[in-house]
Structure 1
Amino acid sequence: MPIDSSLQRTKRPKSEKPRLSIGFILAKRFTLCAFANFVDVLRLAADEGDRSRPILCKWTVLSDTMNPVLSSSGISVQPNERLGDPTRFDYIVVVGGLMDETPKLGPLYHKFLNQAADKGVPLIGVCTGAFLLHEAGLLEGYRCCVSWFHHLDFLEQFEGLDPVSDQIFVVDRDRLTCSGGASSAHLAAYLVDKHVGRSQASKSLHIMIIDEALQAEKPQPGQPIKLKTRDPIVQRALLLMQQNIDTPISVDDLSDRMGNSKRQIERHFRLALDTSPKAAYLEMRLDIARHLITTTQKSIAQIAMDCGFCDSSHFSRTFRRRFGATPKVLRQSAPLEA
C-alpha cells in the first residue's frame, strides 16, 4: 500500500536529536513576556507549521525545589525538571524580573550556573537576568546588555562593570544578555538561526507578527522624546544622550562609545533631524526638564541638576529662551499633570 506523501514529509527518525536544547531558570517575580517571547520562538521553530512538537528545539524549566514560580504578572509556571547536569543543554537561560522585587537566586542555582560555566555551557541573562548572573560571579570581564530603564541601577549595584544599554542584546563569547520584552524574541531567533536555520528563525518571527529579525546592534527603544528618526546611528546617539542627561557627554565621547566618527554622527543628525547633536541634546534636556516641572514636585534646583545644568540661573535663562517662561512661572501657571 503506497505511503501518503504528507506523512512522509512529517515523519522523522526517532533517534534525531534536537539541534538546540535550552534550560530555563526563572527568578521569582520573573517577567512573563520576556520568557514567553523566548520560548515561543523555540516552539515555532521546533516543528512544522504550528504543531509545537519539540523536534528541532527542546526547552525545559529547571528548579531546585520543583515549586511553581510566580511571575511579576501573578501567573505561575510549573518547572519541568530538577537542575541536574547542565551539560545536557546547549544554553542555560536565567530570566529575571522586577528590579525591586527580584530576590537573589539560591545557593543551588549558583552552584549549577557555575558548573555550567566551568563546563563551557553558554549562559544567557534575560531582562534583569544579567543582574542575577553577575551576583553569581559570572559576568566579570564580560559586556552585558541591560534595559536603559535599569542602566543606573546596574551602575549603582555592580561596581566595575560597563553595561550596554543602547542595544537590544549583546553576545560576548559564552555570555549572552538582552534587555527583555520583545528583544528576547530576537535573541532567541539569533540562536535558532545559528543552530537550526535561518528559515526556521524567520518562520517563528513571522508567525509572532514580528516583521524581521533584528541584529544585536539595533538600538533599544528609550524614553519617549520628541526627536523621532529611523536612522540607527542617530537613534543610538539619542539613547546615549538620554542615559547621560545629568552629566552631558560631548560629541567626541559619543563618537568613542559608538565607534562612529564625529563627522559621521554630525552628518547623520543633520540629514535625519536637520540639527546638530549638541542642539538636539539641549532640546532633549529642556524637554525632560519641562516634563519634570509639570509632573513632579522636585525643586527647580534639583531638576536643573538632574538635567545637566551647572546652576539654576543658567537653567532658568535657557529654559525661558526655549519655552517663553521660566521654570518657576511655568510651574505656577500649570497644575501638576497626571
Structure 2
Amino acid sequence: MTRQYNILIFDGFSNHCLANMVEPLRAANTLSRQSLYAWRFCSIDGRTVQSSSGLTVTPNGALSEQRGDVLVVMPSYGYLKLDTRETIRAILAAAGKHSQLAGLDTGSWLLARAGLLNDHRATIHWDELARFEETFPLVNAVQERYVIDGNRLTCSGAMAAFDLASALIRRDHGPLLSMEVAHLLMSRGGADQYTLPLKSEDTLVNRALTLMQANLETPLPIKEIARKIGCSQKRLEGRIQAELKTTPQALYRRLRLNLARKLAEETEQSIAEIAGRCGYENASAMTRAFKAEFGQTPTAFRSGS
C-alpha cells in the first residue's frame, strides 16, 4: 500500500530539507520498483512559494484540499512570522485528515503551537531548542537529530531530515531497503560504481558486508566469512539478524542480485554475462533467483515491462 505524504511548504523553506525528505522516499520506490511512497506539495492557500535560495515551487494545491497518511510541516526560515492564527487553524484542520504529523526543522514550532506535540517527545533545530522548551512546557523537548514518538515525527534540520526519512523506510520496509537507499544516494560515478560497499552501523556486520561485496563473482561460504572476520558462524548469524532482520545467506544473495539488477538496467551485458559476474553458474539459476527476489525476470526488468 502506498503511503501518501503531503508536504506543507512556506516562503523561505529549505530546498535541502525538502530534498532530504523526498529523495529517500523516491529512492525506495526506485529500488523496490513499487510505489511505496507518494507525495504532494502544498501551501496554506495553494499559491506559489519561494525557497530561501530563490527556487519557485507551484504547489499541487492548498492545504485544505489534502488528505493522506503523513502531513509534513516545513517552514524552515521565518517560522515566527508564520506563527499566526490563520496558519495554526489551517494546520489543526489538516491534522485530522492525516494519521501522522511531522515537523521538519522549525516545523515543530508550528505543530507545538497548535497543541499537537503536547505530551510527546519532540525536537527542533538546536538553535531554537531553548526557546522551544520555554514556550511549550507541555512538550518533552529533546536535543536529538530526529524523534519518532508514536504518530509524531520531528527532526532538527536539513541533514536530520535524511536520517528521519531513512528511519521511516526502515520502519515501513525493513533495514535492508533503508541501507540500500542510503547507499544509492551516496554513490559516486566512475569505474567502481557497481561495487561500492553498503555500510552498517554494526562493525562486525560491516566487515561481513565488505567481504561479501568483495566476493560477489565467487561467493564465499558463510562459515569462511565468519572465520575471516574472526567470529563463529552462529555469532555472525545472530548479529546480521539483529541488525538487518535477515540471514547471512539471504543478505549475500540480495547483494549479488542487487548487482545483477544494476547491470541489467545500466549495461548491455548479456544475462549470461551478468550471471557470471554475480556468482551464478548459469543464466537460468540467476533468473530464478532474480524473479524470486524482485518479482520479474532480469529480461523483463531490463525492458521495463
Which TM-score bucket, shorter chain as reference? 0.5 to 0.7
1:56 and 1:90 map into 2 onto residues whose CA distance is 12
1:60 aligns with 2:43: no
- Partner of residue 26 from structure 2, selected from 43, 64, 74: 43
Please name the residue that 2:74 is paired with: 95
In the TM superposition, residue 117 of structure 1 has moved relative to its aligned partner by 3.9
On the 8 A contact 2:12/2:78 being kept in 1, the answer is: no
2:85 and 2:34 map into 1 onto residues whose CA distance is 29
2:90 and 2:200 map into 1 onto residues whose CA distance is 31
Aligned partner of residue 122 in structure 2, secondary structure: coil
Please name the residue that 1:23 is paired with: 6
1:139 and 1:163 map into 2 onto residues whose CA distance is 10
**1:270-281 maps to which residues of 2 (within 5 A)?**
none
Unaligned runs of 5+ in 1: 1-16, 215-338
On the 8 A contact 2:68/2:98 being kept in 1, the answer is: no
On the 8 A contact 2:104/2:161 being kept in 1, the answer is: yes
Q: Which amino acid aligns with 1:121?
A: S
Q: 1:105 to 1:99 in 2, by over 3 A?
A: same
Cα-to-partner distance string for 1:35-78 (whole Å, 9 max, x where unaligned) = 110011111111248xxx88221011123322121222222222
Cα-to-partner distance string for 1:133-164 (whole Å, 9 max, x where unaligned) = 11222111111112322112213433444411
**1:207-226 maps to which residues of 2 (within 5 A)?**
207-209=184-186
On the 8 A contact 1:28/1:102 being kept in 2, the answer is: no
1:191 aligns with 2:187: no
- Higher normalized strand content (fraction of residues): 2
Q: Which amino acid aligns with 1:209?
A: M
Alignment root-mean-square deviation, CA: 2.8
2:169 and 2:84 map into 1 onto residues whose CA distance is 28
- Higher normalized helix content (fraction of residues): 2
Please name the residue that 1:158 is paired with: 136
Q: Which amino acid aligns with 2:8?
A: I
Please name the residue that 1:104 is paired with: 83
- Partner of residue 77 from structure 1, selected from 33, 37, 57: 57
On the 8 A contact 1:96/1:102 being kept in 2, the answer is: no
**1:188-337 maps to which residues of 2 (within 5 A)?**
188-209=165-186
2:165 and 2:154 map into 1 onto residues whose CA distance is 11
Unaligned runs of 5+ in 2: 188-197, 202-305
2:130 and 2:13 map into 1 onto residues whose CA distance is 20
On the 8 A contact 1:186/1:213 being kept in 2, the answer is: no
Q: 1:118 to 1:161 in 2, by over 3 A?
A: same
Please name the residue that 1:171 is paired with: 148
1:199 and 1:101 map into 2 onto residues whose CA distance is 39
TM-score, normalised to structure 1, is 0.50
In the TM superposition, residue 125 of structure 1 has moved relative to its aligned partner by 0.4
2:47 and 2:165 map into 1 onto residues whose CA distance is 26
Higher Rg: 1
In the TM superposition, residue 212 of structure 1 has moved relative to its aligned partner by 5.4
1:213 and 1:146 map into 2 onto residues whose CA distance is 27
Q: Matched residue pairs, number?
A: 191
1:67 and 1:212 map into 2 onto residues whose CA distance is 42
**133-142 or 193-202, which deviates more:** 193-202
2:90 and 2:181 map into 1 onto residues whose CA distance is 30
Cα-to-partner distance string for 1:2-49 (whole Å, 9 max, x where unaligned) = xxxxxxxxxxxxxxx52x221100132122211110011111111248
On the 8 A contact 1:143/1:164 being kept in 2, the answer is: yes
Cα-to-partner distance string for 1:236-274 (whole Å, 9 max, x where unaligned) = xxxxxxxxxxxxxxxxxxxxxxxxxxxxxxxxxxxxxxx
Q: 1:25 to 1:213 in 2, by over 3 A?
A: farther
Please name the residue that 2:103 is paired with: 125
Aligned partner of residue 182 in structure 1, secondary structure: helix
On the 8 A contact 1:125/1:176 being kept in 2, the answer is: yes
2:34 and 2:84 map into 1 onto residues whose CA distance is 28
Q: 1:161 to 1:145 in 2, by over 3 A?
A: same
Q: 1:175 to 1:30 in 2, by over 3 A?
A: same
- Partner of residue 140 from structure 1, selected from 82, 95, 118: 118
**193-202 or 58-67, which deviates more:** 193-202
